[in-house]
Structure formats: C-alpha cells, structure tokens
Chain A
Amino acid sequence: MDQKKPEYFRPALIAGAVAGVLSGLPIVSAGNCLCCLWIVGGAAMAVKLLAKNTVGVLTAGDGAIVGALTGIVAAVVDTIVKIPLQPYNMALARRIIDKFSEFGQEMPASLDGFLNGSSNPLTPGWFLLGLFFSAALFTVMGVLGGIIGVSLFGRKNPQASPPAAPLPPPPGPADAA
C-alpha cells in the first residue's frame, strides 16, 4: 500500500493547455474533426509526460485519470481561447457553409439559426452550458486518449494494474501485548 501514486495533475495541465489552445484556434481546431485529434492526442501526450516522471508501471486506470483531467483542462482553455475569437469563428463557419451552398448543398434552418444566434454576445448561462458540454465530451475523449496513451507510451507492461502487494500477516498475541 506504500506504492506512490503518480503525479497526475502537472502532465494533465501542460497537455490540456496545449490541446485546449489547439482546439480553440480557428483553422487549427479542424484537427478535432478527426475524432477529437487534439484532445485524444493531448491525453496521450499527458501519459507520455506522466510516464517520464513516474518510477513504477503505468496502468490503464492511470491513463484514464490523467486523460480525464487533460480533457477538463482542455475544455476550460478551449472555452477561454474561443471567447475573443467568437466573431471570427462564426464568420469562418458562415464562409465554409456558404462555400458548400455554392455546390448545391442546402444549409438546414437549425444551423442557420444557430450561426445567427451565435453572433449575439455570449450570455453567462450559455457560456456555462457550453463549458459543461465541452468538459463532458472532452473528458470522455480524454479518457480514451489516456488509455490509448498507456498502450503506446506506458513502460514495461502497459496492461492492467498489478495485483496489490500482500499485506503483512496480522499481529500475533505477542505483538499485541
């Protein structure tokens, strides 16, 4: 039971910040269209950092924890980065949609309304709801990325947790006295 727990937060903070910035920047954020590439990749990167600073074997559970933390950090950073870029992102999305419309693709009314609605200033309620959604989605993707990261970068035996070390036998009567 004396096995030291890995230090999850630091790698998650670094990798989550990188993943969040990449997810928030226009054009670069398109990488997330490939199944959350930045989030899954960021969580895998966090595992690599964790493996570098951990003496023991990393387990799939360790990957899940550091991946989840990376996802949460990335969601917060992504939301913050997107605030000043919101008008630009909406204009870009509008341009892409218009481009597709030129090729005969109709844009659904719901998306049209969403883009128009999103050009209004962000209310705190929508901000928190968006942060909650992003955090939930990025956490799930981060867990996945973290576990994949263990299989890629975990050292020695990237399988499941090793069985717990057997505890010493209970004290006998002489010890109790």
Chain B
Amino acid sequence: MSRPGISRTVLTVFLWTAAGTAIWLFLIFLAPALAARGSAGAARLFYALFAPICHQIPGRCLTFHGHPLAVCGRCLGIYTGFAAGLILYPFIRGFSKIELPSIRVFLPMTLPMALDGAAGLLGIWASPIAFRFATGAVWGTVLPFYFVTGLSDLFLARRRRAAGLALEKIRANDVK
C-alpha cells in the first residue's frame, strides 16, 4: 500500500529503531568490556539486563576481551541480522510503502533457526556457535520489515484518528 505523506512517519520509526538497535548491540558488548575492566558490579547489571531473554550459558556465547557477551551466539545473530535487515530496508521496501512481508518469505527464513533450536532443545544435536549465529541472523534479517511496518502503521492510524476527531469537532462547532 503506497500513500503520499507516510514517508516521514516510516522514516522516523526507521531512525528510532536504528538508534535503538545500535544501543542494544552496544550494551551486549558493554557487559564483557566492563567485566574485563574489573567493573564487576556494573557488568553484572548489564548481564542481568539480558537475562530475561537469553540463557547466557558461557559455552554458547561468543567472547569479547575474554568474557562472554551478554547474549548467546543465536541471540547475537538475531540482533545482528535485525541490524542488517534495517540496512536493507530502504533498498527493499523504501519509506513510501507500508506492507508486511509475505508468509512465503517469513517461513523459509524462520525454518533453519526453528529446526536448529528445536533439535538443540530436544537433545538431538548440539550445533556450533557459528551455525547458531548464522541461523539466527537469517531470521533476524526479516524482523525489521515487521517491526518498522507495524509501528509506522500504528502511528499513522493514530494520527488519522486524531485528525478525523479534530475535523468532526470543527464541523460540530460550525453547525452550532
């Protein structure tokens, strides 16, 4: 769906998402960097920040300055893929269209990570970190196309609703 006037909203959401992603990735590397500098208390806080969404098992994390990153290899792959997807976003989708990716794109990009994750959880096989990173990155690449589109749609709908209400109010005043 292409409509005039939506470019600015999509661009704004895109830039905020890019900034958030950069901070997110920075924090993942900040935790081991602080641990390496001996700031154990601060490092613990940043490790704890990511604890609700990642197991953080050291054997499954890539290391930085000799300390494990704040998330595992697969999660890092997802976030790196998300950043890569954001870089691709303007070239593939542009800022003048609001359209979710097709399910035919989503499923093939999800399947490798889902199979690898399920096999790992069921104890069928233990894949190396590089493989986990790669499958996570493939899945992460498609996510910004949902995230930016969904939030842009939300803000555009709210703006339209507010404009409609304001117009109705003006007309009601005119009638009086």
Which A residues form the contact surface with B (CB < 8 A)? 1, 23, 30-37, 39, 59-61, 63-65, 78, 96-97, 100, 103, 105-111, 113-114, 117, 130, 133-134, 137-138, 141, 143-144, 146-148, 150-152, 158-161, 163-164, 167, 170-171, 175-176
B139 contacts A105, C-beta separation under 8 Å: no
B86 to chain A, nearest CB (A): 13
- The answer to whether B84 has its CB under 8 Å from any CB of chain A is no
Dominant secondary structure at the B interface = helix
The reply to whether B35 and A64 contact each other, CB–CB distance below 8 Å, is no
Query: Nearest CB to that of B58 among chain A residues?
Result: A105
A/B interface sample: 12 pairs, CB < 8 A: A59-B157, A61-B150, A97-B57, A130-B48, A130-B52, A151-B103, A160-B98, A160-B149, A161-B153, A164-B164, A167-B168, A167-B171
Q: Mostly helix, strand, loop or mixed at chain A's interface?
A: helix
Q: How far is the CB of A75 from chain B (nearest CB, A)?
A: 8
A60–B153 CB distance below 8 A: yes
Q: Tell me the nearest residue of chain B to A32, going by C-beta.
A: B53
Closest to A34 in B: B117
- Interface size bucket, B side? 35 or more
Q: How many A-B residue pairs have CB under 8 A?
A: 161
Give B168's nearest chain A residue, CB to CB.
A1
Give me the interface of B with A, judged by CB distance under 8 Å. Answer: 1, 3, 31-32, 35, 40, 43-44, 47-49, 52-59, 67-68, 72, 74-75, 78, 98-103, 106, 113-114, 117, 121, 136, 139, 143, 146-147, 149-151, 153-158, 160-161, 164-165, 167-168, 171, 174-175
Given A96-B57, A148-B106, the answer on whether A170 and B150 have CB atoms closer than 8 Å is no
Q: A1 CA to B171 CA in the complex, in Å?
A: 14
